[in-house]
Amino acid sequence: MIEALGSMGPEAKPAITVLAKVLVEDADFALRRSAAFVLGEIGPEARSAAEALGKALKDKDASLRYDAAQSLAVIGPDAKAALPALIGALDEEDVEVFKKVVYTLGEMGPSADPAAAALAKTLANEDEDVRKAVTYALAAIGPGARPAVPALLKALHDQVPSVRLGTAYAMGELGANHPRTLTALIAAIKDPDDDVREEIVFAIGEIGSDTKPVLDALQKALQDSSPVVREAAQEALEKLQDDDDDDRVTKKKATAKPP
């Protein structure tokens, strides 16, 4: 019966209340897991079941916890009611469930900004895939994840290139105005990995201004051995110039005398 609802997708919306009750109260594990799965198949319309799915993150069975997290990821930003449970699940011992929880927080986007500080602590996780997933979750949260900046500054020196790349991307998406951010990015522009240097240059272009240290760093990047880095530096310089021109126009309009 419950499995059949999964093929209905959003059309199974009238069953959400019953499914949530089964998920939380039924003693039959198979039924509980099916309920978690079907709620995900219903999609964002299942937002009213977010709290029940959050409770399922404490189930003794890892496969059910995984399915609950996945369904919350599908619900996305509307799964706010499960946010405390998701933050609590960041101490999850099962690696696959843990990565799914991190992914889910990223899928919630800015709605998950209260999780930023807790996510930042997991950047020290020994699993490189976890660390990489965390950087992209923080990037998806955006400016609200700025409490994670100190941890991201450390992650910029991670031994794994993909983690460093994700870190640079996150710093650009955060628009991180932490006093050490630009300094750290400019220093990291010497990274040995081409893709990481490219992302660092993009990040500088996103959060920098036309100050001498920024312009000097980007000018040097124009001479980089990698064509993708040189192209990124050119784009960053053009963006900064456009931003500067826009600021001048705005100031001119603000100070213009009425006719």
CATH number at residue 9: 1.25.10.10
d(CA 5, CA 193): 48
Two structure tokens written together for 79:
């799964």
| Residue 210 DSSP SS3 | coil
Please check whether residue 49 lies inside any domain of the structure: yes
pTM: 0.87
Please check whether residue 216 lies inside any domain of the structure: no
Could you report the average pLDDT of every consecutive run of 10 residues in the chain (259 residues)?
63 86 94 93 94 97 97 96 97 95 97 96 94 96 93 96 97 79 92 97 88 92 97 94 54 47
d(CA 154, CA 125): 13
Nearest to 208 by CA among 230, 241, 231: 241
pLDDT value at residue 181: 87
Residue 45 belongs to domain spanning: 1-91
Please check whether residue 50 lies inside any domain of the structure: yes
Two structure tokens written together for 99:
């990565």
Instruction: Count how many domains the chain has.
Output: 1
pLDDT value at residue 175: 82
d(CA 47, CA 49): 5
pLDDT value at residue 8: 61
Nearest to 107 by CA among 148, 75, 83: 75
pLDDT value at residue 251: 43
Please check whether residue 1 lies inside any domain of the structure: yes
Nearest to 110 by CA among 78, 132, 134, 88: 78
pLDDT value at residue 250: 44
d(CA 78, CA 20): 16
- Could you say which DSSP state residue 256 is in? P
Please check whether residue 244 lies inside any domain of the structure: no
d(CA 183, CA 207): 12
Please check whether residue 65 lies inside any domain of the structure: yes
Please check whether residue 27 lies inside any domain of the structure: yes
pLDDT value at residue 25: 94
Please check whether residue 15 lies inside any domain of the structure: yes
